[in-house]
Amino acid sequence: MSVSDEILNDIALSRAEYDKIVLGLGREPNGLELGMFGALWSEHCGYKHSKLLLRELPSESPRLLVQPGQENAGVIEIGQGLAIVMKVESHNHPSAIEPFQGAATGVGGIVRDIFAMGARPMALLNSLRFGPLSESRNRYLFEGVVSGISWYGNCIGVPDVGGEVYFSEVYSGNPLVNAMCVGIVGTDSLMKAKASGSGNLLILVGADTGRDGIHGASGLASRTFEDDSEEMRPTVQVGNPFLEKVLIEACLEAVDTGKILAMQDLGAAGLTSTVVESVARGGAGAKLNIDMVPRREKGMSPYEVMLSESQERMLLVVKPHDKSYIEAIFEKWDLDSTVIGAVTDDETITIYDESVEVASLPVKILTEPPLYNIDAVEPEYFKETRTLDFGMVFDKGYSAEDILLKILAFPDIARKQWIFRQYDHQVQTNTLEGPGADAAILRIKGTNKAIAVTNDGNGRFCYLDPYVGGAIAVAEACRNLSAVGAEPIAITDCLNFGNPERPDVYFQLEQCVKGITAACKVFDIPVVSGNVSLYNETRGTAIWPTPVIGALGILENANDRTNIKFDNEGDIVLMLGSSNVSSDITGLSGSAYLEAMYGKVQGVPSIDLAMEFKVQKLCRDAIKEGLINSSHDVSDGGLAVALAESCVSGNIGFRSDLQLGNDWHVALFGESQSRIIISMSKDKLSKFEALAAEESTPWILLGVVGGHSLHIGTLMDIPLEDLDKAWSHSLKESLL
């Protein structure tokens, strides 16, 4: 007899999908088997509404060592026998239910993805979105998430070196918590999660298995929120960072022996996804004896054991004669290691409980969910958002000084000191530039090299034009790398969207992917890994489409770097990307100015990717030539905000005699793309002019570093202490 619609809804399967399962098996699945299908065919694990789109993303690079989607994370070679492993993932829905543990286990999960590849985790970043902090629920979520991230990262000894935080009403019921991790590995020590070889042992190591996290992938991450969020609290995992720290060291020691054939973390869908996906990669099958799985709760059913998402667990594939050797390593670290099964050659996963067969399923059908291509429809709201109100934009009621101070205090723009001071960003002693920089910079010990990492995304731009917004997300992430002197070499993405079954949401997803693809092709960089987080809706209201781009850059010489701080009295300040400070009113499209001053998200953003590429190359080349003392990209808040941030960071002023005319709102607060402000000594200008001419890249002289205020013509003369108060202290004050 067929299962009820209620049961199918609980595991995020449709009636049509259930019928497809029955047809494929030639019978109805039992309860455990159905639960396994629900997990592996969920959006979170199966990517059934996104996989067809993701295939468009560029994945070619001579540096690429692992094809995207084939392993736990992306791997990019950086020379001298070393590679960087990187990935970003979401933990949105768990964090909305239980913010502390949701965020903490998001960190733990992404770290396991990295060391599962044999890499040592060396840095964390996070990209966060919340509703307005004026609402108590949002403050609770915000404080819980920040605490969870800092607790887990600090305990495991991985520095949190960067990130971003935005606030908007659209995220009130559905915060976004995206965690990114990068690690380093020798190219000859790279570990895969490809289980093969009949008779090889499956060893479960780490924490005991409990009932936490059951239905996390299918019931929580693959459906929208309604009014029953508290009932979903048991689906949130519980973390133990102290155990994870030991697990990292034990697993990396085991990898160094050369006796580990494959390794995979237990994340979404627990044992089900870990075992099935590992043997699928190896074209094999598995026999599991789940009565052997160590448990921390009595009376757990096979269903609960197979679907539990208990944290801090890893699966190893080991030859039988190496079993004792590997067990001794984990015993030394005081960790459990238990043989729970073996690899088979029948391409079937067969599960036994006390010698009784409780499930038997072909691996192929489990790993091939239906893939959907929705007929996309342009959102209705485009009719209202694609114009700008000139009267509102040029309202004479606010002075330039009033506007700048208000925007600096706007939560999206305000300095995030209250957050990053809770994170240890110096542990491991690799951090050359940490939180607050355009991009974090990490030394590669034993070499002259360094890497730069950042993550970026702008939901306002993607809401107004998903294609352009997707392209801008890539461009800005790469611009942040270029602004510190690093050449972009790879990205990882986390695509946060609403319900993809809605044609307008699918339109947003489809167009964003196309925009990301277009930008990656211009920069000639691959998308090496990532995650899709869909169904981010609460009571029918979707979040803004929010693609988050994590980017990796390389500095062949770690000394060829800059930061955002104005430093030297008398340095001249230039802006790359334009020969004119003023621009068209469309530069205010999706700007922080419109949202902070008027609560509006309007207009149509734009970007010239060819110009973007030229501006970034000029910036990198000038840094490498030793011409630049500071550089900072112009993004959120526009030129005035970028200048203020450089002044406050360097504790020195800036003076410009530019006369901006009646359209100073656009000149100061417009967010036109492809612009970077740089400072240099006057005697370097002629060399810079020659370089810019050679690369045919426009620029304009803005003014001079010096004094104790931000002075622009007759429009503003704001003391540094006032800028600092607005920018550096407003976020903390909003929490009091």
d(CA 613, CA 608): 9
Instruction: Give tens-digit pLDDT for 658-706.
Output: 888 888 999 999 999 999 999 999 999 999 999 999 999 999 999 999 9
Name the nearest CA neighbour of 237 among 313, 142, 302: 313
CA dist 321 and 311 (Å) reads 28
Q: Which residues does 680 contact at the CB level (< 8 Å), separation at least 6?
A: 571, 572, 574, 622, 627, 628, 629, 688
pLDDT for position 585: 83
Residue 91 catalytic? Answer: yes
The tens digit of pLDDT for each residue in 526-568 reads: 999 999 999 999 888 899 999 999 999 999 999 999 999 999 9
∠ CA 511-109-443, rounded to 5°: 85
Q: What is the pLDDT of residue 398?
A: 87
Indicate whether 215 pLDDT > 80. no
Say which DSSP state 314 is in.
E
What is the distance between the alpha carbons of residues 229 and 457, in angstroms, rounded to a whole number?
27
pLDDT class for 582, splitting at 50, 70, 90? confident
Q: Indicate whether 399 pLDDT > 70.
A: yes
133-147, 166-180, 377-391, 665-679: range with lowest mean pLDDT: 377-391
Integer Cα distance of 412 and 409 in angstroms: 8
Q: Compute the C-alpha angle 108/111/114, nearest 5°.
A: 155
The alpha carbon of 689 is separated from its chain's Cα centroid by a whole number of angstroms, namely 37
Look at residue 269 and tell me whether its pLDDT is greater than 60: yes
Q: Which domains does the chain have, with CATH numbers?
A: 1-41+191-369 (3.90.650.10), 388-426+562-736 (3.90.650.10)
What is the structure's pLDDT at 274? 96
pLDDT at 146: 96
pLDDT exceeds 80 at position 222: no
Convert the pLDDT of each residue in 136-166 to its tens digit: 999 999 999 999 999 999 999 999 999 999 9
Q: What is the pLDDT of residue 2?
A: 74
Which residues have a Cβ under 8 Å from the Cβ of 138 and sit 6 or more positions away?
130, 131, 132, 167, 172, 175
Mean pLDDT of the chain: 93
What per-residue confidence (pLDDT) applies to 223?
53
8 Å CB contact between 495 and 512: yes
Please report the pLDDT score of residue 374 as a whole number: 93
pLDDT band at 284 (very low <50, low <70, confident <90, very high): very high
The alpha carbon torsion through 475, 477, 480, 484 (nearest 10 deg) reads -110
Residue 734 has pLDDT above 50, yes or no: yes
pLDDT at 322 over 70: yes
Higher pLDDT, 69 or 545: 545
Instruction: Quote the CA–CA distance of 161 and 165 in Å, as a whole number.
Output: 14
Query: Of the residues 49, 91, 665, 711, which is catalytic?
Result: 91
pLDDT at 218 over 70: no
Query: Which span out of 6-10, 232-236, 530-534 was modeled with the highest average pLDDT?
Result: 530-534
Q: What is the pLDDT of residues 471-519, one digit of tens each?
A: 999 999 999 999 999 999 999 999 999 999 999 999 999 999 999 999 9
Compute the distance between CA of residue 159 and CA of residue 540 in angstroms, rounded to an integer: 38
Q: Is the pLDDT of residue 191 over 90?
A: yes
Average pLDDT score over residue span 172-177? 93
Q: Provide the pLDDT for residue 605.
A: 95
pLDDT of residue 233: 45
Mean pLDDT on 190-217: 90
Region 212-227 average pLDDT: 59
Summarised one tens digit per residue, pLDDT across range 240-254 is 999 999 999 999 999
pLDDT category at 394 given cuts 50, 70, 90 is: low
Catalytic residue among 44, 49, 215, 665: 44
> Position 545: which residue type?
P
d(CA 308, CA 237): 9
- What is the CA 162 to chain-centroid distance, rounded? 11
425 is catalytic: no
